[in-house]
């Protein structure tokens, strides 16, 4: 064997070793080409979802300007319809809390723009004080989607009374200004995030699709971590808290928390929970915003000889969806009825099983470390 061949073999051995990753038990993690995975998710899933959110929310914000200029019951219904579309569109980007969304000047994160329940007493105080600017920090309990949900839907008032609160009440002008401020703040956060994903801003899409590793900070790692984190939010807050479950334990079986549901005022808690799971399912399978089933984590698992795990994950997602479909009406109402409460509990249990599959089994199979902060011990 000549020296050139020896040198070439040495280089091959170094490259091969560099491409291997070991589990904690010393076994090697099989890997495959991740460019199709990250490329599809970046360009056809994340980018498209942010575009959809921006379009939906801009449409809502335009309607806010029209409604506050001349409040009517018909205008309120139109405004609610556009808000519903924007809220659902948000659920489809809640898995992407990395990169532009986490910038300190933006903070388009669940804890900042979808912290439910909102503090209704504080909202009233802010309206009374004439607040017209939403600060970038410390405003989560009186801004974001839950606050708009409260402003447009109040269970104790008729539609006409809500319209009157924006038109003829003593605080009508301040209520209008506050709604416009909350909407404008969210619009800016969404627009800035999307801008920094494309070439008109930081062009993070290029950074994302170029980072094909599986180390901490890689695109694969961040996407899996935040997909799992979002599922954890579904389990803990959309299903768990209404059932009075904290850290997988029921604090008091005789107590439920309907008022702490997402979308409580609009009775959209179940719709939003379903949207969250559907968003995770489509992300897992790499389904584009146009509905094309492209390269996703399911394909990657098959590529690394984890077909059985992929099958189990997809079956478990289907079980979660089936249990959610079995819940009668909004979650806030269901938990107050024995049969409904049992249905929510069943959805919670299946979500916990899915969480374990993604957080432990899938992450381990791909070789990604779960590093986001969580405290419920899963």
Query: What would the 3-class secondary structure string for 52-109 be?
Result: HHHHHHHHHHHHHHHHHHCCCHHHHHHHHHHHHHHHHHHHCCCCCCCHHHHCCCCCCC
pLDDT tens, 236-251?
A: 999 999 999 998 899 9
Q: How confident is the model at residue 375 (pLDDT cuts 50, 70, 90)?
A: very low
Where does residue 238 rank: exposed (0-12), middle (13-18), buried (19+ CB within 10 A)? Answer: buried
For residue 366 the two structure tokens come to: 């791909």
- Residue 363 pLDDT exceeds 80: yes
pLDDT at residue 16, as a whole number: 31
pLDDT at residue 199, as a whole number: 94
H or E element that contains 113: helix 110-113
Q: How confident is the model at residue 13 (pLDDT cuts 50, 70, 90)?
A: very low
pLDDT tens, 294-344?
A: 999 999 999 999 999 999 999 999 999 999 999 998 999 999 999 999 999
Helix (H, G, I), strand (E, B) or coil at 250: strand
- Residue 23 pLDDT exceeds 70: no
End-to-end CA distance of the chain: 54
The residue ranking higher by pLDDT, 23 or 197, is: 197
Q: How confident is the model at residue 136 (pLDDT cuts 50, 70, 90)?
A: confident
In percent, the amount of the chain with pLDDT more than 90 equals 88
Report the largest interatomic distance among the alpha carbons of the chain, rounded to a whole angstrom: 93
What's the mean pLDDT when you consider all of the chain? 92
For residue 7 the two structure tokens come to: 């040198």
Relative to beta strand 249-250, strand 245-246 is: antiparallel
> Which pairs with CB-CB distance under 8 Å and at least 24 residues apart come from 63-68?
64/179, 64/180, 64/183, 65/180, 67/166, 68/166, 68/176, 68/177, 68/179, 68/180
ω into 373 cis (within 30 of 0): no
Where does residue 60 rank: exposed (0-12), middle (13-18), buried (19+ CB within 10 A)? Answer: buried
Residue pair 52/88 in contact by the 8 Å Cβ criterion: no
Where does residue 168 rank: exposed (0-12), middle (13-18), buried (19+ CB within 10 A)? Answer: exposed
H or E element that contains 21: strand 21-22
pLDDT at residue 377, as a whole number: 44
């Amino acid at each position: 064997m000549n020296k050139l061949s020896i040198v070439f073999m040495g280089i091959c051995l170094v490259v091969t070793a560099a491409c291997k990753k070991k589990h904690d038990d010393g076994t090697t993690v099989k890997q495959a080409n991740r460019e199709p995975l990250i490329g599809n998710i970046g360009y056809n899933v994340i980018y498209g979802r942010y575009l959809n959110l921006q379009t939906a929310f801009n449409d809502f914000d335009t309607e806010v300007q029209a409604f506050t200029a001349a409040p009517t019951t018909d205008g309120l219904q139109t405004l609610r319809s556009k808000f519903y579309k924007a809220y659902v569109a948000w659920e489809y980007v809640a898995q992407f809390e990395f990169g532009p969304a986490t910038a300190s000047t933006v903070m388009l994160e669940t804890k900042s723009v979808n912290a439910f329940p909102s503090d209704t007493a504080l909202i009233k105080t802010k309206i009374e004080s004439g607040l017209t600017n939403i600060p970038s920090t410390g405003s989560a309990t009186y801004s974001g989607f839950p606050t708009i949900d409260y402003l447009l839907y109040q269970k104790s008032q008729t539609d006409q009374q809500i319209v009157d609160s924006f038109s003829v009440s003593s605080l009508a002008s301040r209520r209008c200004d506050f709604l416009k401020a909350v909407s404008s703040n969210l619009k800016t956060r969404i627009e800035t995030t999307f801008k920094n994903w494309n070439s008109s801003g930081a062009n993070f899409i290029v950074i994302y699709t170029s980072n094909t590793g599986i180390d901490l900070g890689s695109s694969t790692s961040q996407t899996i971590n935040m997909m799992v984190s979002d599922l954890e939010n579904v389990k803990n807050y959309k299903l768990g808290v209404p059932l009075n479950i904290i850290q997988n334990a029921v604090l008091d079986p005789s107590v439920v928390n309907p008022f702490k549901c997402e979308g409580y005022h609009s009775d959209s808690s179940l719709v939003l929970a379903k949207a969250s799971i559907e968003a995770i399912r489509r992300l897992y399978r790499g389904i584009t915003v146009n509905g094309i089933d492209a390269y996703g984590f399911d394909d990657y698992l098959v590529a690394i000889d984890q077909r059985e795990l992929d099958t189990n994950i997809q079956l478990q997602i289907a079980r979660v969806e089936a249990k959610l479909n079995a819940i009668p009406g909004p979650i806030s109402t269901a938990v107050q009825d024995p049969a409904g409460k049992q249905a929510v509990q069943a959805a919670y249990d299946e979500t916990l099983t899915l969480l374990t599959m993604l957080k432990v089994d899938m992450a381990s199979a791909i070789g990604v470390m779960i590093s986001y902060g969580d405290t419920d011990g899963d």
